[in-house]
Amino acid sequence: MPWCDHCRKFEEPEALGKNGECPTCSEIIGEPRPVPWHFKLLVVATIIYLGFRLIQGIVWLSQHIH
């Protein structure tokens, strides 16, 4: 369990902020939490989708501009 020098108590790892900061004094006392894999997947899916839409748009333009 991460120890906070500032508050002089142990903090639950789940209670820490996403950068590992103490919920009481915001001192960094733990490891930053890793980005959850489903969030990364969502970002990748969004990029692929946007890329696909961009290609669709380029194809549409090339068919309508002469």
Q: Is 21 helix (H, G, I), strand (E, B) or coil?
A: strand
**What's the number of CA atoms in the CB half-sphere (13 Å) around residue 66?**
2
Q: Does 4 bind Zn ion (CB under 5 A)?
A: yes
b/e map 47-63, b = 16+ CB within 10 Å: eeeeeeeeeeeeeeeee
Q: Which of 2, 7, 17, 20 binds Zn ion (CB under 5 A)?
A: 7
Candidates 15, 25, 43, 48; binder of Zn ion (CB under 5 A) is 25
Total residues interacting with Zn ion, rule: CB under 5 A = 7
Of the pair 6, 40, the CB lying nearest Zn ion is at 6
User: Could you list the residues that contact Zn ion (CB under 5 A)?
Assistant: 4, 6-7, 22, 24-25, 27
